């Protein structure tokens, strides 16, 4: 069989490799490379019959050969590897043999100083985690939600680090769900500001802004909604140690709260949009009533002036001394009566 072309061969991660480390007994151990770290960890686990040693590899938007190389090192399932390469996957938790493949959508709130109708409010990314008995491989897509803080927090706390690969998965999930809560709270504040502006001055009511928030709320709903069911079932999986299950249940509770908040915010955005459209229609009708009222008032003197401007020979009022003042007075009285009637009925 012919070898693969050079560009398609499996190669170790280079530019996409963010960081890797071997962790034994809650401490980070230096290793010359990923294969050496794997050998060190597995030798320790075999010798001590323990599972507190593992390797954590972090990648950022890797190329296909790099992920395929890691698949050979850790024995990752081809379908999961394909999903990690292509990205844009639906949030999910899947089991392949003795490993888990978890897809989490990441969200970040973009604070624009001068937002436009096309400006993104929420940036969506992805974190994919392969979790096995002695390894964690994280693949991140999108600029936001770096895992550097998560790794640093774990490395500063040997107790957290000693929880094993499922402890790393919990830390990542907890970090992502906390971001959900943060963004959901900010979106709630944005919606409340827009809601207050709907019944304010006409200039402060922006239908485009409301629709933009509605669109972003749908994006947030698509990011967090599909994850609720599989994550609530995650503590029941045999791969999750009993001492870690309560931690995953806590993350599941936070995720349920996010889903409820996103659902209520989405319904609020629907109500705001409908109220804004109804308010705009009401103001348009009010403007039309004012225009119609003034047209009716102006039509009276126009009619009188047109009547006496026809220059017929036999028009007795034209020959009288008080004809002109009487016509002006009639115009003024008629206009005043119409203006009073329209104001009384709320048209002016």
pLDDT digits (tens, 9 = 90+) for 174-185: 999 999 999 999
N residues, the chain:
348
Residue 344: strand, helix, or coil: helix
Q: Which residues lie across from 27 on neighbouring strands?
A: 24
Q: What integer pLDDT is reported at residue 209 of this predicted model?
A: 80
- For residue 61, give the DSSP letter: S
**C-alpha triplet 108, 111, 116: angle, nearest 5°:** 115
Q: Is 281 exposed, middle or buried (0-12, 13-18, 19+ CB in 10 A)?
A: exposed
Q: What integer pLDDT is reported at residue 3 of this predicted model?
A: 41
Q: What integer pLDDT is reported at residue 177 of this predicted model?
A: 93
* Separation between Cα atoms, residue 316 and residue 322, nearest integer Å: 11
List of E strands, the chain: 17-24, 27-29, 53-60, 92-96, 99-109, 122-131, 135-141
Q: What integer pLDDT is reported at residue 76 of this predicted model?
A: 92
- For residue 246, give the DSSP letter: H
* Separation between Cα atoms, residue 293 and residue 335, nearest integer Å: 11
Q: What integer pLDDT is reported at residue 7 of this predicted model?
A: 38
Q: What integer pLDDT is reported at residue 121 of this predicted model?
A: 85
- For residue 203, give the DSSP letter: G
pTM of the entire predicted model: 0.77
Residues of the chain with pLDDT under 50: 1-8, 203
């Amino acid at each position: 069989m012919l070898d693969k072309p050079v560009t398609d061969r499996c190669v170790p991660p280079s530019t996409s490799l963010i960081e890797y480390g071997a962790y034994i007994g809650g401490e980070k151990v230096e290793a010359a490379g990923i294969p050496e770290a794997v050998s060190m960890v597995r030798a320790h686990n075999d010798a001590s019959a323990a599972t507190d040693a593992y390797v954590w590899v972090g990648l950022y938007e890797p190329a296909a050969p790099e992920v395929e190389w890691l698949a050979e090192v850790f024995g990752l399932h081809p379908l999961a590897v394909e999903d990690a390469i292509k990205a844009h996957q639906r949030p999910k938790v899947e089991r392949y043999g003795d490993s888990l493949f978890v897809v989490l959508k990441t969200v970040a709130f973009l604070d624009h100083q001068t937002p436009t109708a096309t400006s993104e409010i929420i940036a969506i990314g992805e974190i994919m985690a392969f979790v096995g008995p002695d390894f964690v491989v994280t693949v991140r897509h999108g600029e936001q939600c770096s895992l550097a803080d998560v790794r640093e927090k774990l490395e500063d706390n040997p107790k957290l680090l000693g929880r094993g690969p499922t402890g790393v998965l919990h830390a990542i999930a907890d970090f992502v769900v906390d971001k959900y809560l943060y963004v959901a709270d900010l979106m709630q504040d944005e919606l409340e500001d827009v809601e207050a502006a709907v019944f304010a001055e006409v200039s402060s009511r922006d239908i485009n802004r409301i629709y933009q928030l509605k669109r972003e709320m749908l994006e947030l709903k698509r990011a967090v909604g599909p994850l609720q069911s599989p994550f609530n079932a995650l503590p029941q999986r045999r791969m999750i140690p009993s001492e870690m299950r309560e931690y995953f249940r806590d993350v599941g509770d936070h995720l349920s709260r996010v889903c409820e908040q996103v659902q209520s915010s989405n319904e609020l955005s629907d109500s705001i949009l409908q109220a804004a459209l109804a308010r705009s229609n009401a103001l348009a009708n009010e403007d039309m009533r004012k225009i119609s009222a003034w047209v009716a008032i102006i039509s009276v003197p126009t009619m009188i002036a047109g009547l006496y401007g026809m220059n017929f020979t036999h028009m007795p009022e034209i020959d009288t001394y008080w004809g002109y003042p009487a016509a002006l007075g009639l115009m003024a009285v008629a206009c005043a009566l119409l203006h009073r009637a329209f104001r009384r009925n709320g048209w002016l």
